[in-house]
Structure 1
Amino acid sequence: MKLLLVEDHKDIAGVIFDYFELKEHVMDYAHNGLLGYELALKNHYDAIILDIMLPKMDGLSVCKSLREQGIDTPVLMLTARDTKEDVLSGFAHHADDYLVKPFDLDILEIRLQAIVRRSKGSVANRHLHYGELVLDMNTRVLERAGSRYSLNPSQFSILKCLMQQAPNVVKKEVVCEALWGDEEPDSKVLRSHIYQLRSLIDRPFKHAYLRTISKVGFRLVKEGDL
């Protein structure tokens, strides 16, 4: 497995890192939540081991933000707290499992293997189709007429939202919520993301799928449709 460990306690991180490397797993490490979030956006991992109490960005916020960006990598949260409220909060922020410190490393590995198996089972052959467009929900790769495009998290979130609703119009507010939740940025940021996505998937072809509906939102249109 390729794993991302996000843990600020150096001794705990060292023990976990050494254990999984000895088992020949590939490991990346972040000592704060913000760095962990950035690594999870840029790279593909089979699973993320995520502490809750982290500097710069807590684990709950990291998990929630990743889900909002369309990253569905399995997340196992580590915490020193084991109250019912803490457990429910972890799952409410879309974690896949929860382990209380101190824990047995063998148990950690087994729990990781379990959430990875569940994830692979749920995403196997998960593709969205619309006309020539085929979006792989696992790898964030779009195929069109034999061409393949790797989408960044924002492009993936926008296109997934549009393909799930196609050919219906998706309001701008819905797209913004998929990207940023309740924190809507300046409208220029969304226009920039739409421009980049349109340039990627439409510019090389005669037919343009991505249409802007003035003052309303966006939609995908097949060739020959209005």
Structure 2
Amino acid sequence: MRLLVIEDNRQLVANLFEYFEARGHVLDVAPDGITGLHLAASQSYDAVILDWMLPRMEGPEVLRRLRAEHGSEVPVIMLTARDDLPDKIAGFRAGADDYLTKPFALPELEVRLEALQVRAHGRNPRKVLEVADLSLDLATLEARRDGQVLHLYPACRKLLEVLMRASPAAVTRQQLEFALWGDELPDGDLLRSHVYELRRSVDGPFASKLIHTLPRVGYRLAVTATEDSDATP
């Protein structure tokens, strides 16, 4: 999942990044309500983790404006120390999909986010990922670029899905490795081999390159990039 965290507690943000990135998710963070509203309205996220008490604009107002002014249906889970029923009702009336009181367990937050994804996909299925002239049909698992079918091994197809879901954001090597193998990493640098094969299919026959290397970080799939796409991290 690509997640937006709107939270000003630095320690909590660090904990969220450590937990979710290790599980293959991609996170952006906004330290205040106005920045969070801008990111949530202008970028594509699978879900938003929204704190109630925020600088510059409180969470319920961020959510109200996101729904009313921008028409966003992105799933939102609110985090707050407020556990009174009137506060929960106010959060849901502002447009929250779920509500989690602090302190909370990170696995519970993850399960709630997964449940929101199931409900959101039921309402508005996202069956085809698209970046420029590249597409991946999640139902048929068919990948195409410029109308041409790409023949991908399962591992390459999984890498492509992770990169396309995150695009244009970067995905770390650790995130890609976790997506392929979980906590049981194979011997050797198999990720490099899979990325090489993916590049041969996605970029090899075409003039413009979409897969770019971020040295010492990982990769990203984007229309343009300043990084050298032939470098290795």
CA distance in 1, matches of 2:117, 2:21: 18
Instruction: Please state how far the C-alpha of 1:41 moved relative to its aligned partner.
Output: 1.1
* Match in the other structure for 1:59: 59
Alignment of 1:57-136 (within 5 A): 57-68=57-68, 69-124=70-125
TM-score (normalised: structure 1): 0.54
Amino acid of the structure 1 residue aligned with 2:63: C
Amino acid of the structure 1 residue aligned with 2:95: H
- The question of 1:38 aligning with 2:38 is answered yes
Alignment of 1:1-226 (within 5 A): 1-68=1-68, 69-124=70-125
How many residues were matched structurally? 126
CA distance in 2, matches of 1:101, 1:89: 17
Amino acid of the structure 2 residue aligned with 1:122: R
Amino acid of the structure 1 residue aligned with 2:105: D
CA distance in 2, matches of 1:66, 1:47: 13
Taking only aligned residues, the RMSD between alpha carbons, in angstroms, comes to: 1.3
CA distance in 2, matches of 1:65, 1:17: 26
Instruction: Please state how far the C-alpha of 1:14 moved relative to its aligned partner.
Output: 0.8
CA distance in 1, matches of 2:22, 2:4: 15
CA distance in 1, matches of 2:50, 2:36: 8
CA distance in 2, matches of 1:60, 1:74: 14
Unaligned runs of 5+ in 1: 126-226
Instruction: Please state how far the C-alpha of 1:7 moved relative to its aligned partner.
Output: 0.4
- SS of the residue corresponding to residue 44 of structure 1 reads coil
Unaligned runs of 5+ in 2: 127-233
Deviations 1:81-127 (A, max 9, x none): 100011100000010000000000000000001011101101128xx
**Off by >6 Å, runs of 4+ in structure 1:** none
CA distance in 2, matches of 1:58, 1:117: 28
Counting aligned pairs with the same residue, the percent is: 47
CA distance in 2, matches of 1:7, 1:17: 12
Deviations 1:157-195 (A, max 9, x none): xxxxxxxxxxxxxxxxxxxxxxxxxxxxxxxxxxxxxxx
